[in-house]
A and B are shown apart, each in its own frame.
Chain A
């Protein structure tokens, strides 16, 4: 079966098993490796992408669910890495190993779209599904605040 998805603004036709999780379609078929595998069960958030602007965990989203819809991955969040979150992330040195960070940023981007000035509690609620083993959480909060134009606080 072929699936048609608008990926980062470009129409794609994929000839894949419709049950294949979107994660593997992005990584293995489209070569968009910025989206990461971490758990396969929507427990860690490393694979977070936007489906029509909403955060989904690509590891449990069958590719057929994206048929006829728009998917945005970290590679398409901004044309040149200049999304306020990407800039804040670099300026505050958020990443350590970096592996979970694309998922963190995609989740945060959806949060800021829905809530341009989130409170600390709202940040924690929205980001609760994204694990970071290196422990960058305090700087993630600071970077989200910075990107939203709020004082970053202690990082």
Chain B
């Protein structure tokens, strides 16, 4: 991060803590009225962590003046990771938060995996990060013990000092930093973690939002907020269809727009598209407005390429046909065909979920500077290492010649894992010979997204005479994300981990099949990914079974999940489970945890009384990112949209949660995003081009379209941390469809629900 950006975030960190510790009003220094200097990265001055002191690993530095620098190697995009990882560190270390500086890591493999996706920041790094801090603490304690000639076990680190407990002598972290820095770094087995009772976060439900003061004063630095001397702003006219090219163009009129300095043709993208820039014509100007006007004045003839025949309405039928025929079986238990043959009744339905666009409030933007064979990029990226790799590739440089700094992200949701916009800025900065900031418009964001994939499912359940489910067949078809990187034309076993293979079913005969689906647009990660549609199909069908039986949906959910038990591969009827990169020993498929969230959420929502208040109630539950979440929504009639969600209850078992306050916020946000997905979600393509262009036709929920009350219940747990950012979203869609059915009697099996309601 730039020096100035770092200064701002450091200040906000300190301010945030003062607020939390003393309950005082926030006290930012008065703002200059002309802060253009603030937004400009200056040549990097020596940061405290570049000087002497204790540096046992790339994450922690203790300076001789007592300043503790803690590195956040994951990107902040609203999940609160910058308010979580540093707290985890500081508590384990015994640092005084007032002496802590948070530094956002550049993209560098020395930090391990920095790809901020998959709800993995705490899930994957919880143990490692605690050891990172505990290692530094062990060394500070050892240095103090050596000075005092006492045993280290008689010393404690807290409040930025080491205390010799029997004599109450103290030495500050700063006084110890250099001596500790000269000690050998202890091996992990010789480092002891603190007990939970000593960890402030473990006993707090109200950790402060450390960047909060910066957010509410306009000081937070996002992708488009940085400025370099001589910088130009680029706005790019990209081919309307992925894989298209510029046939010819005339920039005469564009160059006549005052402020426009240059017009540059971008390299065309070739299949597989990966993270390559999308191609097109870039207009570089002194300011964003001139660049936009310049782009509008371009005269371009496109060669639309192979994908120009893509029509998502026609493709919906292709996908449905795909799931109406057998696919590749990845889950097989018992004898499904025999069980269907003897079933007393079959409940069967097709479900369709369209492409979803990310619609982060901050459209992609990135700044780059190329000088002397080196490139420096400032980007709101979820994946700075991938950005570094793609920038190096686009420029033909070694990765060592590329530095990627990470700004704050104005939402990511998976879109900003991709490096295309960072590489665009780098390419243009080299071509222009001056720093260039690429600014995507909202239309660009919607037209050139890496969409959540499009899906059709057919799910069949065979019931015996008593209504018990004895057979389950699940077919799913969707172009997988791997199609963006290869010629994959159907989902594979890894793709089916998301809600199909890991579904806890107390059913003796189960089969799940993946069916063909070719991609025609760039497919990418989107918050909760394939779980969105799998939870929608499964959660809707379970409700349909309940109504077919005339039974309470809650009882049918619990009946189908079955008794509490750990389900191994054999019990699931599968050969392997990707399990979000986790072992089944640490994160098994636990039917008991899925049951528990259903039980807790229905208790909170007073489910058994649901028929008394005139509202329509819907329930759904889902396992994803090794967490378990259940949702109840209550809907009421609404003039504008026919239905409005009036109240929501969400219960998540995510194992141990480090920052309960941010997890609570994530659950509230998940309900809102789940409502947007299910109610309004979906973009369509005609002639290969996306038809929607801004928030008027690519809708997301507004304040009056979401519940005023969202009740959040986090299951208390000391189990290994699981995902938090994504698992809240998947059950919301089916809960909403089920609630709509309860209120209106209308069963809508296709997203967006608002279309089914008005049809």
Contacts and interface: CB of A to CB of B under 8 A. Distances in A.
A38 B442 contact: yes
A97 B409 contact: yes
Contact of B33 (A7, A17, A20): A7
B192 interface: no
Contacts of B31: 75-76, 79
B329 interface: no
Interface string A21-44: 100100111111111111111011
A60 B415 CA distance: 27
B558 interface: no
Contacts of B222: 33, 36, 99
A151 interface: no
Contacts of B431: none
Interface in B352-374: 359-363
Given A9-B33, A95-B215, A135-B668, A44 B288 contact: no
B700 A131 contact: yes
A79 B28 CA distance: 8
Contact of A75 (B27, B35, B37, B669): B35
B361 A139 contact: no
Interface in A3-23: 7-10, 17, 20-21
Given A31-B38, A38-B442, A139-B665, A120 B708 contact: yes
Interface string A98-121: 111110010000000000000010
A93 B700 contact: no
Nearest to A44: B695
B694 A43 contact: yes
Nearest to B671: A135
Contacts of A94: 212, 216
A35 B216 CA distance: 11
Contacts of B76: 97
A125 B530 CA distance: 35
B35 A31 contact: yes
B116 to A, nearest CB: 12
B675 to A, nearest CB: 8
A28 B33 contact: no
Given A33-B225, A36-B410, A138-B668, A96 B694 contact: no
Interface in B208-232: 208-209, 211-222, 224-225, 227
B36 A30 contact: yes
Contact of A99 (B213, B288, B411, B673): B411
Contact of A36 (B19, B209, B361): B361
Nearest to B35: A31
Nearest to B38: A31
Nearest to B209: A93
A124 interface: yes
Contacts of A61: none
Contact of B30 (A46, A80, A96): A80
A95 B458 CA distance: 40
A90 interface: yes
B115 interface: no
B754 to A, nearest CB: 17
Interface string B1-42: 000000000000001100100000111111101111111000
Interface residues of A, number: 72
B703 A141 contact: yes
B289 interface: yes
B359 A133 contact: yes
A40 B695 CA distance: 10
A150 interface: no
B542 to A, nearest CB: 26
B746 to A, nearest CB: 26
Interface in B705-742: 706-711
B408 interface: yes
B26 A75 contact: no
A27 B225 CA distance: 8
B660 to A, nearest CB: 11
Contacts of A124: 703-704
Given A81-B26, A127-B703, A90 B209 contact: yes
A87 interface: yes
B224 to A, nearest CB: 7
A77 to B, nearest CB: 8
A94 to B, nearest CB: 8
B550 to A, nearest CB: 35
A120 to B, nearest CB: 7
A100 to B, nearest CB: 5
A86 B214 CA distance: 10
Contacts of B665: 93, 96, 136, 139
Interface in B29-76: 29-31, 33-39, 76
A39 B218 contact: no
A139 B702 contact: no
A40 B673 contact: no
Given A74-B218, A134-B78, A98 B211 contact: yes
Given A80-B28, A93-B208, 19 more contacts: A17-B259, A20-B287, A31-B38, A34-B219, A40-B694, A41-B694, A43-B696, A80-B29, A93-B212, A95-B215, A97-B77, A98-B214, A99-B360, A99-B361, A99-B411, A105-B216, A135-B701, A136-B669, A141-B703
